[in-house]
Structure 1
Amino acid sequence: MTKEAIKTIILVILVAFSLFLTIALWNYQPNLETVNQGDGLIEETNIGGTEENIRSLLTPKQIIYHNNGTHYGYQEEEHIGEAFRRMQTWSIFNLSISEADIPEGGDVLEIVFPSTLTSETIRNIFQMENQDVTLPGLSFDRVFVQMSEEEAEVRFLSPDGERMLQGSMRFENASQLRSELDNTSLWREYMMFQEDEERRIFLPSEQIDVAKDVIVTESLPSKPLKNVLFDDPTVVKQFPLSGGDLRHSDSLSRMDLVAGQKKMKYQNPVTESSNVSSTTFNTQEILNESVSFINNHYGFTDPFRVHDIRSTYGDIMFSMYYNERPILKDTEDFTSMSIRFEEGVLQEYIRPMVTVDPYQSYPDVSEDEQVSTLASGETIETVIENSPQYNQSEVTDIVIGYKLDSQGGGFSNYYDLIPAWFVQVNGTWQEMTDIDSVVRRGGGT
């Protein structure tokens, strides 16, 4: 066979092989599985809640109207939120520091916030006519608005009661406020607890009806939180704990699902060898960082409000609200959310792993049986003054809130939501359980 014939054969073979490979590539179907975003991709970080802004989370816990020595509070709790949204349109200007002077006499509105806030937070609450102005450094926990015929003066009082930020409010805002104060159907009479001008705790003068309810919990997904909280979720291992609880750990940080997996506790130990900034957060930074962090995984799964910010400890706590009132007692402790920073790094994150929904409650009872009639402020004052359970000097607040009673002894997702009086002693809420005995002894109504 000649050399030319061999070349021709080789060329034919190569062409045929090329055609075979081309046809094979055309007909090849890769055996790939479709990856579901819900199966735990790193990108899956949404636990199903909403994003919230700082304004909504700082809704005042109380708004009191003082009229020539008589105190009034809103008839319905939802009016506080509605009034606060209108206040956010107020235009504040000419702020300066002065000695504290709580206005007396005439018409005064007192707005009580749930925690001590910095002056920078004023930008998150009200409109500033000059957004570029440098605000004086001062903390506050309540705001007074003193009304006159033509203007309104705004005073942000520091918790120590020694200094305040004083400013002015536009006439049109004051006129709007005046019309609301004149609407007597919005208000009920309140009393000042022990006439104590320093603590300034206000209670409804008469008995008050508060709705009961039944709620049901629904579980939240844990994979998105694992993706958020661990640097490399692929190395995280899962371990069973007692009582059906679970632990996720990457050997340094851990995320525990406890209380029947209705609550999550994450801890990230910060050590000297950690490559982190040594700076700490102030109150405003804690607020900004925590809200941004929770929003990034849509973590506001129920109505929450700021309960307390402690810059000394680098932490913030949010309370869950229902019917515009805080849930202050539940045996499984899953109705609050807290974040703690150390050296500017997330150190601890505790939150519910359930969301709360109303249930078709009390279908066979009358409307009167769907409410609880709670004792008057006078009775509450008498109980605290006469009960050995409380040290009067340590009482810092008194409110009506809710307690949760499980319908299945902790194994059920159904809970009775029961209104009750709570007293705060040294920062801790306690349900007032001896009211009826005081009433029976003639101590109030």
Structure 2
Amino acid sequence: MKYETVKSFILFVLVGISFLLSFILWSYQPNYDSFSDTSYVNEVDIGGAEKTKNELVEPIEIIFRNDEKIASFIDPIERQSFYKDLASWVLYDYQINDAKGRPKSDEYVEIIFPSAIPADLVTNLFTFNDHLVPPEWSFERVFITFNDKSQTLKLCILSVDGRKQITATIEKSDTYHLLLSFMKENNHLLHEYMAFGSQKEPVYLPKEKVQLPRKTLVASSIEPDLFINALFSNPSYVTPNIREAYFTDGQRGMRIVQDGRLLEFINPLQATVKRLDPIELLDKSINNINEHKGWTNNFLFENIDSSLNNVKYRLYYDGYPVFDRLNLTVIEQEWREQELYKYTRPLIRIGNLLNSTEEEIPSGEEVIHSLENDKNINVENIKDIQVGYSLSYLDDAHSLTLEPSWYILYQGEWLKFDIADYEKDLQAKGGD
């Protein structure tokens, strides 16, 4: 075979291979579906727990009112134990009917939840003898009144607007006498409280000074890398920017801020806000966090904002809410188009107790007096007042403190209210 013929043959083969490769390249269509799959939460264990709705949703206050006398549990652990028993009492003969506000009674128990919650939850929170088809409205307060003639109790779940209610009967006489003993006797578990604000939705505070320990505890971190598998459908696509503590798969992003203590996740593809039913929203949020066992320490439900498809859960310690100005004590989710749009959460874990020192914070009377005389505060905008813990990190970053303080829910935001600071400002202005 001639040399020129061999060269022509080789050239022909190379041209053929080139055409074949070009065809493969142009005709190849990558499977972007798996990359953009929005059902992206894989089953991952970040070291927390799974929880149910009835474990996450519980009252922030249980009030016993007898004429002008108001009392409640000063120890929130005792309140939680009482509510657990109450939730197991069987309810009979339920009815859904019209209402005219709060019960017209001088003697009742008032159960207050942290914010309006859908009536669909009543079957998770209370025990009904018959199947209940819940109405579509929401509630925040539940009342128990006494029928002295039949020695039974009537439970009333009141809608937020006060126009609708679910009523049912508790028929056990021993339960009737148990509650009556709380109302009539000087029960050592209860302390005197006082009411503040409107008659429709009063806020209750302990009347006397509160003794509560300041605690120092071990603090550890949750590894951010664990959330790559939890929040991205294809972790192999995720590229880190170590310098900025930012992770992305080209669509979704996860940022680690506040010295590695706070995670912020966003899925910007889900841009349309279609309002979800509140119970559906709560279910989706709880299931999502359960899938990566994300309930580290004790978080409880705080609020649903259906207009934004937003759900919040707050950290609690020894039954008290924990607050922090950097948002390190709140798990918050926002959903769009049935998918997780935003997710912020702390990456801290509270460990063993290192030190505890008893402290005394001002009484409810002092707090109310200060609020009513503070010209910068419109008391009508105060939704709630709570004793809680203020979280702060120590310099070594491996321990933190929980310091007792008063907090007010003012115009939708929790603010620390320090009476000492208020009095200093008052003296500087020459006030009384």
> Counterparts of 1:347-362 in structure 2 under 5 Å?
347-362=341-356
Contact 1:90/1:170 (CA < 8 Å) preserved in 2? no
**In structure 2, distance between residues paired with 1:211 and 1:110:** 28
Counterpart in 1 of 2:113? 113
Unaligned runs of 5+ in 2: 1-40
| Mapped pair 1:390 → 2:385 | no
Task: Tell me the alpha carbon deviations over residues 19-63 of structure 1, each in whole angstroms, 9 at most, x when there is no partner.
Answer: xxxxxxxxxxxxxxxxxxxxxxx9761000111121121121111
What is the aligned counterpart of 1:337 among 318, 325, 331?
331
**In structure 1, distance between residues paired with 2:250 and 2:421:** 52
Counterpart in 2 of 1:158? 159
Unaligned runs of 5+ in 1: 1-41, 363-369
**In structure 1, distance between residues paired with 2:201 and 2:106:** 21
Counterpart in 2 of 1:167? 168
| Mapped pair 1:86 → 2:85 | yes
| Mapped pair 1:430 → 2:431 | no
How many Å apart are 1:325 and its aligned residue?
Answer: 0.5
Bigger mean CA offset, 302-311 vs 387-396? 387-396
**In structure 1, distance between residues paired with 2:344 and 2:206:** 34
**In structure 2, distance between residues paired with 1:104 and 1:190:** 20
Bigger mean CA offset, 164-173 vs 333-342? 164-173
The alpha-carbon distance between structure 1 residues 43 and 117, as it changes in their structure 2 partners (threshold 3 A), is closer
The alpha-carbon distance between structure 1 residues 271 and 342, as it changes in their structure 2 partners (threshold 3 A), is closer
Contact 2:105/2:145 (CA < 8 Å) preserved in 1? no
**In structure 2, distance between residues paired with 1:418 and 1:217:** 15
The alpha-carbon distance between structure 1 residues 396 and 279, as it changes in their structure 2 partners (threshold 3 A), is closer
Residue type at the aligned position of 2:45: N
How many Å apart are 1:382 and its aligned residue?
Answer: 1.0
Contact 1:100/1:157 (CA < 8 Å) preserved in 2? no
Aligned length: 384
**Secondary structure, counterpart of 1:199 in structure 2:** coil
Q: What is the TM-score normalised by the length of structure 2?
A: 0.83
Counterpart in 2 of 1:263? 262
Task: Tell me the alpha carbon deviations over residues 94-113 of structure 1, each in whole angstroms, 9 at most, x when there is no partner.
Answer: 12121234224443110000
What is the aligned counterpart of 1:324 among 319, 331, 343?
319
**Secondary structure, counterpart of 1:361 in structure 2:** strand
How many Å apart are 1:279 and its aligned residue?
Answer: 5.8
Task: Tell me the alpha carbon deviations over residues 335-390 of structure 1, each in whole angstroms, 9 at most, x when there is no partner.
Answer: 1101111121111111111211233215xxxxxxx122111111111111111331
Which structure has the larger Rg? 1
Residue type at the aligned position of 1:405: S
**In structure 2, distance between residues paired with 1:416 and 1:260:** 17
**In structure 2, distance between residues paired with 1:174 and 1:226:** 53
The alpha-carbon distance between structure 1 residues 203 and 43, as it changes in their structure 2 partners (threshold 3 A), is closer
| Mapped pair 1:298 → 2:293 | yes
Contact 1:247/1:254 (CA < 8 Å) preserved in 2? yes
How many Å apart are 1:84 and its aligned residue?
Answer: 1.3
**In structure 1, distance between residues paired with 2:82 and 2:349:** 27
How many Å apart are 1:406 and its aligned residue?
Answer: 2.4
**Secondary structure, counterpart of 2:79 in structure 1:** helix
How many Å apart are 1:70 and its aligned residue?
Answer: 1.0
Counterpart in 2 of 1:3? none
> Counterparts of 1:126-205 in structure 2 under 5 Å?
126-131=126-131, 133-149=132-148, 150-172=151-173, 173-181=175-183, 182=185, 184-194=187-197, 196-205=198-207
**In structure 2, distance between residues paired with 1:373 and 1:88:** 33
**In structure 2, distance between residues paired with 1:418 and 1:144:** 33
The alpha-carbon distance between structure 1 residues 252 and 436, as it changes in their structure 2 partners (threshold 3 A), is closer
Residue type at the aligned position of 1:226: I
How many Å apart are 1:257 and its aligned residue?
Answer: 1.3
**In structure 2, distance between residues paired with 1:320 and 1:184:** 29
The alpha-carbon distance between structure 1 residues 87 and 270, as it changes in their structure 2 partners (threshold 3 A), is farther
**Secondary structure, counterpart of 2:355 in structure 1:** coil
| Mapped pair 1:418 → 2:422 | no
**In structure 1, distance between residues paired with 2:243 and 2:57:** 37
**In structure 2, distance between residues paired with 1:229 and 1:170:** 48
> Counterparts of 1:397-408 in structure 2 under 5 Å?
397-408=384-395
Contact 2:275/2:307 (CA < 8 Å) preserved in 1? no
**In structure 2, distance between residues paired with 1:284 and 1:219:** 32
Counterpart in 1 of 2:34? none
Bigger mean CA offset, 149-158 vs 90-99? 90-99
What is the aligned counterpart of 2:367 among 371, 380, 403?
380
> Counterparts of 1:33-72 in structure 2 under 5 Å?
45-72=44-71
Residue type at the aligned position of 2:359: S
Q: What is the TM-score normalised by the length of structure 1?
A: 0.81
Contact 1:382/1:443 (CA < 8 Å) preserved in 2? no
**In structure 2, distance between residues paired with 1:356 and 1:371:** 20
> Counterparts of 1:211-250 in structure 2 under 5 Å?
211-242=213-244, 246-250=245-249
Counterpart in 2 of 1:37? none
How many Å apart are 1:437 and its aligned residue?
Answer: 4.8
Residue type at the aligned position of 2:166: L
Contact 1:308/1:318 (CA < 8 Å) preserved in 2? yes
| Mapped pair 1:207 → 2:209 | yes
Task: Tell me the alpha carbon deviations over residues 299-334 of structure 1, each in whole angstroms, 9 at most, x when there is no partner.
Answer: 10110111111111101000001121011224x421
Q: Aligned residues: percent identity? A: 24
| Mapped pair 1:282 → 2:277 | yes
The alpha-carbon distance between structure 1 residues 383 and 151, as it changes in their structure 2 partners (threshold 3 A), is same
**Secondary structure, counterpart of 2:354 in structure 1:** coil
The alpha-carbon distance between structure 1 residues 123 and 158, as it changes in their structure 2 partners (threshold 3 A), is same
Residue type at the aligned position of 2:133: T
Task: Tell me the alpha carbon deviations over residues 113-150 of structure 1, each in whole angstroms, 9 at most, x when there is no partner.
Answer: 0121111100110112123x322222100100012221
Contact 2:367/2:419 (CA < 8 Å) preserved in 1? no
Contact 1:263/1:353 (CA < 8 Å) preserved in 2? yes
Q: Displaced runs of 4+ in structure 1, greater than 3 A?
A: 172-183, 434-444
RMSD: 2.4
How many Å apart are 1:283 and its aligned residue?
Answer: 1.2
